[in-house]
Amino acid sequence: MADDMVLERHETDAEEAVLRIYEIGYHVTPQVKETEVEKIVGEVRTVIEKEGGSFIAEGTPALMRLAYPMSVVEKEKRLEHDRAYFGWIKFEAHVAVAQTLDTVLKNNPNLLRHMIFQTVREDTRAKMKAPTLREVKRTDVIKPQRRVEESSAAPLSEAELEKAIQDITTE
């Protein structure tokens, strides 16, 4: 029985000694000024470096439209955000570093959401082409564009049309 406890303790020590590849994706609230976003990301990097992690790659945060509005309670008020600064960091660290980072990010009021997951070192992400957003004022009227079909052939007679339909259906 004592041997079982010793084996379990060695397994957890071995897991903590292994370096793993993690990636974190985060949304920074749009109320944060663009110049302050780098400061918030710097705090995340500091936690990773302080705990002994090493960086592999990083995606600079960019303001983008969210797929759906996200609500957050700030100062006893519920706010909905339809945009946020999205960024990501890929790093190599021990399991404890990821757990510490998760705790720090949960307590950061400038982050809407974050996610940390284990991944591989290789670049596996699909290249994302940012869609161009077109802002429309309420006073603007969007008019559909009409297609003009150019026809070089003369109009068909009833007999020719019947013959063409019969040819198509018999094939």
pTM of the model: 0.61
> Which domains, ranges and CATH numbers included, belong to the chain?
14-118 (3.30.70.60)
**Residues of the chain with pLDDT > 70: what percent?**
71
Element (H, E) at 147: none
8 A C-beta contact, residue 48 and residue 127: no
Can you give the length of the chain in residues?
171
Instruction: Reduce the secondary structure of 13-74 to three states and give it as a string.
Output: HHHHHCCEEEEEEEEECCCCCHHHHHHHHHHHHHHHHHCCCEEEEEEEEEEEEEEEEEEEEE
pLDDT in tens, 130-156: 666 666 566 656 666 666 555 556 677
